[in-house]
Amino acid sequence: MAEDLSSMHQVQGQVKWFDPAKGYGFVVSESGGPDILLHVNVLRNFGQSSVADGADIVILTHNTDRGVQAVEVVSIVAPERDDTPVLADFADLDLDAIRSEPLEAARVKWFDKGKGFGFANVFGSNDDVFLHVEVLRQSGLADLQPGEALAMRVIDGNRGRMAVEVLAWENAVESET
């Protein structure tokens, strides 16, 4: 069933909270009004299974009997961050050198938000890459699902290969073109 485009509105706002386990969260519009429901399926259509609290987001919405709901994500920008390294492993690294590392295609092996870490496999390699929850947050993500496609900037750290930046695959493809 196609949405009636005339009843949709583009809204710029900020993610109030999003819980991947519950499958939804809420967006607060910059122009005020009621909180806007953001369902995980709408987020998945954008190519992500989660989004960090505080991320700037542009969505298309429509009114329903149950309130305002997002029907499409147009863009997501990770929350503002300072240039302070998120992990001690990154403290001695040159931030410009990190940003110049190539993006590598990967799939999530497993990720446990409660433990604060997980691992991914880079395409064409058997090596595991360590994923820390703080790196996800600074990249605008809150959680990852097994098998999820990613693009990562990876370094050889004190504890092996580590992701220093993580992007949802669709966002990485768009940013590199």
Distance CA 98, CA 77 (A): 19
Q: Is the CATH number 2.40.50.140 carried by domain 5-77? A: yes
pLDDT confidence bin for 177, thresholds 50/70/90 = very low
CATH number of 88-176: 2.40.50.140
Domains 5-77 and 88-176 share a fold: yes
The residue ranges of every structural domain in the chain are: 5-77, 88-176
pLDDT in tens, 3-49: 455 678 999 999 999 988 899 999 999 999 999 999 999 998 988 88
* pTM confidence score: 0.67
Structure tokens at 81: 């961050």
Contacts of 174 (CB under 8 A, 6+ apart): none
53 vs 157, residue with greater confidence: 53
